[in-house]
Structure 1
Amino acid sequence: MDASTSARRLGRAAALAVAVALAVTACTSGGGGSGGDVAKSEPPRQDSQDINAKPLDQIKDGGEVRFALDQWITQWNPLQVDGGSYTDTVNLIRTVEPSLFGTDASGTFQPNPDYLVEAKVTSTSPQVITYKLNPKAKWSDGKPLSYLDFKADWQSSNGKDPAYNIADPSGYELISAVEQGADPTEVKVTFAQPYADWQNLFRPLIPAAGIATPDDFNKGWVEKIPITAGPFRIGTADKTAQTLSLVPDPAWWGTKPKLDKITFRVMDKSASIQAYLNNEIDLASAGTAAAYGQLKNAKDTAIRAASPWDEVHISFGGNGALADQKVRQALGRALDRSALIKIANNGVPVEFKPLGNHIIMPNQTGYQDNSGDWAKFDLAAAKKLLDDAGWKEAGSGQPRTKDGQPLELHWVLSDGTQQAQLDLATAAAAMWQAAGVKVDLDKVAANDFFAKYVTPGKFDVASWRNTDSFPNSKSLANFRLPVGDNSFQNPSRLGSQEIDDLLKKAAGTVDPADAAKLYNQADAKIWELGHTVELYQRPVVVAVRKGLANYGAFGLGSEDYSKVGWEK
């Protein structure tokens, strides 16, 4: 508990303190954990990366690397809502489709010479970006990359045609024209309003031939990738065995990848630990006490860590009792975040610090804590908010009632959830019970968690990681108001026009300091809305097979599978 908590409040929360202590104990000793906490390093710096970086001449030709995959990828179109909401889809598709820019360890965009000769702002009023394409770059159907692909991506993703079920119109909705430039290798993109993060668009570029109609866009990439243009292509995709492989594309015009094959196998996190120890995969997450305890001394293993754009939060739905902002605010005030974070952090060698921002991570320029009182544990304040919302106390341990109905909510959890997160949810439920809110923990199948519950908004409470919401303009999709049935990346469907306007204005502000002020104003409103309680930025801590080069913990940098391999 916070040292500043008054004696009266401590008395009311005594049962809660016991519940949290039990949860911490369970996390420490259960599931093959470390049996005690470990020394913690400070979170990695902004420009840190831990990937065993090696030049290509120090990497063997050939070989295989084997990775775990959280769930089977059904929708491969990253511009479509079901594809764009899943980080693994986006990362893998950037390996088989053109990614015009990558990011380095500091999060700075760098052009990819395999696709771009250059790309730059050639006019500021209006903003015009001119792309000079690598003339060697061709799709697998033999067509060269051209302005037609840029035009198709823009027209499908700008939100003007509701038949396209898009992931995120940010940036695309600001484009006014896409044209051929001086020759077929040149593309001119004109913006109606300035857009600071233009390098993040067409990343990846999706071929016009694959999204010619809304039906192609929405259904043509289900269980398949119709056209590619990358260093790798799909080798095998065995849904029954839940195994996928990437192999070098012989038509690739760039530097040949070092590996013969990259294999991905779907498994939950707990299974991946044993699979790593059995030498069935070459990387496993070591970001929990149980995982780190089992993996830290594994044979031929290196532990690598970095801080990416990766956060863990508790998200609220917008239906039933939670349609009332006061109830959502009360849930935030009833949580002792420091106790919850301690549960998640126990036994992990990198410190998790409370996160005070939904948009900017602590290792990014412009970060500030905007949580104010909304994430400050105050049981009395939480109870008053519930009183004001009309939910009456019903006696010790009983849920409050309103119009004869109990205040009972459901926290949806994947059945693949790790023990530390289960302990965290149990502790949070105990905290809410102290305020008079009953929260049931409902486990659902891992493959259904997003598809049937989170993405359609069928939850009261849920917790997941938002990853790779970078650059900052991508945050608009996480908080913007829905349009019809399209909730973008905002499954709770909670938002406001004021938040939308601030985020859009920030995205169009070229000066980084001025943009950060607007993002922080929007973030303060998101906290007040009771949309999400941020917990912590999640550092990536992974166990990696010794000798694996150019892979591990990337921080704010992007993966490049074509450079991955085994040291000579």
Structure 2
Amino acid sequence: MRRTPTAALAAATAAAALLVSGCGSSDDDKPQAQQSAAPAGSQQINAHPLDDIQQGGTVKFPISQYIADFNRYTANGNQGDAAEINELVEPDLFSADARGEVHPNTNFLLSASVTSTSPQVVVYKLNPKAKWSDGKSLSWRDFNALWKANNGTNKEYEAANTSGYDQISKVEQGADAHQVKVTYSSPYADWERLFDPLLPAVAIDTPAKFNKGWTEKIPVTGAAFKISSYDKTAQTITAVPNPDWWGTKPKLDSIVFRALDYTAWTDAYLNKEIDYASAILPEDYKRLENAADTDIRTGARWDEVHITLNGASGPLKDVRVRQALQHAIDRKSIATAFGKDLPVELEPYGSHFFMPNQAGYQDNSGTYGTYDLDAAGKLLDEAGWKLKGDTREKDGKQLTLAYTLSSGSTTAQEDQAELVQAQLAAVGIKVTLKKVPANDYFSKYVTIGNFDLTSFRWVDQVFRSEAYPIYRQTSGKNLYENYGSVGSPEIDTLLKQAAETTDPTEQAKLYNEADTKIWALGHSIPLYQRPQVLAVRSDLANYGAGGLADDDFTKVGWLKK
């Protein structure tokens, strides 16, 4: 549906797609040939006014797994499918438009503004009509409880990300019961990222409630939809309209989320068991593009496919070896190979913070992002890895790296790994492909830095400060989200300055300056912006490929016959 409130959502497989919105394609505007990447503000959601949409009906959506924890602010609940459902039924204070710019959602928040800069003070004016499912009004107490759970001072709270919250000094009632006053100890530019979605104090005001109270169920809701059933046997979760909803009445009677292995999505869509499926993989796209009563809707979400390099130990501890990999990996050929049968042309890009369709984007890769085998060979020579026959050696040891991937990887991910293997062999680097159990991939390999090379995705990082844990210096065994442990004091300083800079132009300059240093350090290699390519029922309105925008499920529904 939208961005996540944590530093970013890591997606391990090409299947891990969030439910997103976009604006309309019909059979007449289905892409027949490759288009360049979607420009800023573009989306395909089959947009229609509410008068065109029938009252009633059910939409069936696939999710990649049954939800174990619905609290998206915890480490366990920080998973895309859980976040989608959480956002559907909890107060969404700010909504992003197609350009990724956020605005108050007046169903919950009449206004929010910075009323003082020294110290920074933000005043929220809540909609007096907004209530939780237990009948209580939204209030400053909910903000206060969420702040205390996420600010890092009480280690018993298993918060996924404390950034931003740890810069708040006080949360209190404003001028009346429907105002909230938040005071910061230091300026925080991305303050709109915080408290969104809002959770009820009654369900998070102790570590036990925060950590365990959202296991396989949502205790209190407060939005246009509520959960009517959790069926673990059928692997379904059903949402229905909230009868006490104070806003525009939803068009749908129900939304059913069904847990399915990604490999089953295409068949389930063709069998009319679900109403949308990802068509991002060429084999799926070929089966879905001509399906009856189907649109292929494309968009450009914040979705980075990259290769992470582990600089903590082994050959990649040497920055020259990491830089050599940046030159030896042909990003253009990888992007072309992945997108060859898709309707969207994929191109490599040069930023760790901005998508090409975002304001502030610039290519900071410089010489480090160029495919240059001679430069790669020279760097490896300088690092002492001399070419002997087809391989490189140093002190009698062969230069060998392991590329770790999940056993649940798609054919496209396996193809990418094999391409990287062949490309690095061209400069004398031997790469072994190491498949690990899908359920262990993140917990036993990626998040503890147990790899040489690996590839996954960062998604929905619309607020740049969300990336801080990815690029900050690690501290002992705490890797934050910098799983390759590549960082520097200079990068930390720039990212902290950027997070405190409220002028968008100056902030972008700082992020781009940090990005230049990140490229020079060989932290990771952005490959391409993964497009949204979705097969959607052609009569489903106001849903599809939303680009940088959030969904509004009060507007989603079936067109009148």
Report the TM-score when normalising by structure 1: 0.87
Decide whether aligned partners of structure 1 residues 453 and 71 sit closer, same or farther in structure 2, where only a CA change above 3 A counts: farther
Report the Cα offset of residue 457 of structure 1. 3.1
Q: Which residue of 1 aligns with 2:44?
A: 50
Counterpart AA for 1:362: P
Checking the alignment, whether the CA contact within 8 Å between 1:74 and 1:223 is kept in structure 2 is yes
Q: Which residue of 2 aligns with 1:109?
A: 102
Report the Cα offset of residue 297 of structure 1. 0.7
Q: Does structure 1 residue 421 correspond to structure 2 residue 432?
A: no
Please give the alpha-carbon distance, in whole angstroms, between the structure 1 residues aligned to 2:454 and 2:512. 24
2:373 to 367, 376, 379: 379
Q: Which residue of 2 aligns with 1:305?
A: 298
Report the Cα offset of residue 426 of structure 1. 0.5
Please give the alpha-carbon distance, in whole angstroms, between the structure 1 residues aligned to 2:449 and 2:259. 25
Please give the alpha-carbon distance, in whole angstroms, between the structure 1 residues aligned to 2:493 and 2:72. 25
Counterpart AA for 1:161: N
Q: Does structure 1 residue 185 correspond to structure 2 residue 213?
A: no
Q: Secondary structure at the match of 1:246?
A: strand
Q: Which residue of 1 aligns with 2:486?
A: 494
Q: Which residue of 2 aligns with 1:442?
A: 434
Checking the alignment, whether the CA contact within 8 Å between 1:308 and 1:539 is kept in structure 2 is yes
Q: Does structure 1 residue 343 correspond to structure 2 residue 334?
A: no
C-alpha offsets along residues 66-85 of structure 1, whole Å, 9 cap, x if unaligned? 1222333323222223333x
Q: Which residue of 1 aligns with 2:21?
A: none
Q: Does structure 1 residue 328 correspond to structure 2 residue 334?
A: no
Counterpart AA for 1:512: P
**Structure 1 residues 362-371 or 125-134, which shifts more?**
125-134
Counterpart AA for 1:276: Y
2:553 to 544, 557, 561: 561
**Structure 1 residues 45-54 or 238-247, which shifts more?**
238-247
Q: Which residue of 2 aligns with 1:536?
A: 528
Q: Which residue of 2 aligns with 1:40?
A: 34
Checking the alignment, whether the CA contact within 8 Å between 2:288 and 2:535 is kept in structure 1 is yes
Q: Does structure 1 residue 152 correspond to structure 2 residue 145?
A: yes
Q: Does structure 1 residue 92 correspond to structure 2 residue 81?
A: no
Decide whether aligned partners of structure 1 residues 256 and 450 sit closer, same or farther in structure 2, where only a CA change above 3 A counts: farther
Report the Cα offset of residue 556 of structure 1. 1.0
Checking the alignment, whether the CA contact within 8 Å between 2:336 and 2:347 is kept in structure 1 is no
Decide whether aligned partners of structure 1 residues 481 and 257 sit closer, same or farther in structure 2, where only a CA change above 3 A counts: farther
Q: Which residue of 1 aligns with 2:202?
A: 209
Q: Which residue of 1 aligns with 2:22?
A: none
1:461 to 443, 446, 453: 453
Decide whether aligned partners of structure 1 residues 250 and 190 sit closer, same or farther in structure 2, where only a CA change above 3 A counts: same
Please give the alpha-carbon distance, in whole angstroms, between the structure 1 residues aligned to 2:365 and 2:61. 37
Please give the alpha-carbon distance, in whole angstroms, between the structure 2 residues aligned to 1:166 and 1:495. 23
Q: Which residue of 1 aligns with 2:249?
A: 256
Q: For 1:124-163, what aligned pairs fall within 5 Å after superposition?
A: 124-163=117-156
Checking the alignment, whether the CA contact within 8 Å between 1:305 and 1:542 is kept in structure 2 is yes
1:270 to 238, 263, 268: 263
Checking the alignment, whether the CA contact within 8 Å between 1:353 and 1:536 is kept in structure 2 is yes
Decide whether aligned partners of structure 1 residues 496 and 237 sit closer, same or farther in structure 2, where only a CA change above 3 A counts: farther
C-alpha offsets along residues 165-201 of structure 1, whole Å, 9 cap, x if unaligned? 3322232222221111111211001122222222221
Q: Which residue of 1 aligns with 2:363?
A: 369
Counterpart AA for 1:355: Y
Please give the alpha-carbon distance, in whole angstroms, between the structure 1 residues aligned to 2:353 and 2:289. 32
Report the Cα offset of residue 368 of structure 1. 0.6
Report the Cα offset of residue 463 of structure 1. 1.3
C-alpha offsets along residues 455-487 of structure 1, whole Å, 9 cap, x if unaligned? 333332221221100122222233223456554
C-alpha offsets along residues 120-169 of structure 1, whole Å, 9 cap, x if unaligned? 22222222111111122222333322112111222222233333333222
2:189 to 196, 201, 215: 196
* Identical-pair percentage: 53
Please give the alpha-carbon distance, in whole angstroms, between the structure 2 residues aligned to 1:523 and 1:331. 18
Q: Which residue of 1 aligns with 2:60?
A: 66
2:382 to 361, 385, 388: 388
1:235 to 203, 228, 236: 228
Q: Secondary structure at the match of 1:81?
A: coil
Please give the alpha-carbon distance, in whole angstroms, between the structure 1 residues aligned to 2:57 and 2:229. 17
Decide whether aligned partners of structure 1 residues 215 and 479 sit closer, same or farther in structure 2, where only a CA change above 3 A counts: farther
Please give the alpha-carbon distance, in whole angstroms, between the structure 2 residues aligned to 1:251 and 1:489. 40
Report the TM-score when normalising by structure 2: 0.88
Please give the alpha-carbon distance, in whole angstroms, between the structure 2 residues aligned to 1:245 and 1:410. 42
**Structure 1 residues 239-248 or 480-489, which shifts more?**
480-489
Please give the alpha-carbon distance, in whole angstroms, between the structure 2 residues aligned to 1:464 and 1:38. 29
Report the Cα offset of residue 551 of structure 1. 0.5
**Structure 1 residues 359-368 or 64-73, which shifts more?**
64-73
Checking the alignment, whether the CA contact within 8 Å between 1:120 and 1:129 is kept in structure 2 is yes
Checking the alignment, whether the CA contact within 8 Å between 2:312 and 2:485 is kept in structure 1 is no
Decide whether aligned partners of structure 1 residues 154 and 137 sit closer, same or farther in structure 2, where only a CA change above 3 A counts: same
Decide whether aligned partners of structure 1 residues 98 and 182 sit closer, same or farther in structure 2, where only a CA change above 3 A counts: same
Q: Does structure 1 residue 412 correspond to structure 2 residue 419?
A: no
Decide whether aligned partners of structure 1 residues 91 and 490 sit closer, same or farther in structure 2, where only a CA change above 3 A counts: farther
Q: Does structure 1 residue 166 correspond to structure 2 residue 159?
A: yes
Checking the alignment, whether the CA contact within 8 Å between 2:312 and 2:486 is kept in structure 1 is no
Counterpart AA for 2:469: A
Counterpart AA for 2:457: R
Report the Cα offset of residue 241 of structure 1. 4.1
Q: Which residue of 2 aligns with 1:509?
A: 501
Checking the alignment, whether the CA contact within 8 Å between 1:361 and 1:367 is kept in structure 2 is yes
Decide whether aligned partners of structure 1 residues 218 and 531 sit closer, same or farther in structure 2, where only a CA change above 3 A counts: farther
Please give the alpha-carbon distance, in whole angstroms, between the structure 2 residues aligned to 1:39 and 1:549. 24
Checking the alignment, whether the CA contact within 8 Å between 1:334 and 1:378 is kept in structure 2 is yes
Checking the alignment, whether the CA contact within 8 Å between 2:96 and 2:102 is kept in structure 1 is yes
Unaligned stretches of 5+ residues in structure 1 = 1-36
2:540 to 543, 548, 554: 548
Please give the alpha-carbon distance, in whole angstroms, between the structure 2 residues aligned to 1:290 and 1:132. 49
Unaligned stretches of 5+ residues in structure 2 = 1-30
Please give the alpha-carbon distance, in whole angstroms, between the structure 1 residues aligned to 2:288 and 2:48. 24
Counterpart AA for 1:515: Q
Report the Cα offset of residue 116 of structure 1. 1.2
Checking the alignment, whether the CA contact within 8 Å between 1:87 and 1:467 is kept in structure 2 is no
Greater helix percent: which structure?
1
Please give the alpha-carbon distance, in whole angstroms, between the structure 1 residues aligned to 2:531 and 2:454. 20
Please give the alpha-carbon distance, in whole angstroms, between the structure 2 residues aligned to 1:488 and 1:562. 37
Q: Secondary structure at the match of 2:409?
A: coil
Q: Which residue of 1 aligns with 2:6?
A: none
Report the Cα offset of residue 566 of structure 1. 0.8
Checking the alignment, whether the CA contact within 8 Å between 1:550 and 1:565 is kept in structure 2 is yes
Please give the alpha-carbon distance, in whole angstroms, between the structure 1 residues aligned to 2:296 and 2:34. 14
Counterpart AA for 2:86: I
Checking the alignment, whether the CA contact within 8 Å between 1:268 and 1:416 is kept in structure 2 is no
**Structure 1 residues 410-419 or 280-289, which shifts more?**
410-419
Counterpart AA for 1:52: N
Report the Cα offset of residue 401 of structure 1. 4.3
Paired residues in the alignment total 529
Please give the alpha-carbon distance, in whole angstroms, between the structure 2 residues aligned to 1:242 and 1:408. 43
Report the Cα offset of residue 335 of structure 1. 0.5
Counterpart AA for 1:503: L
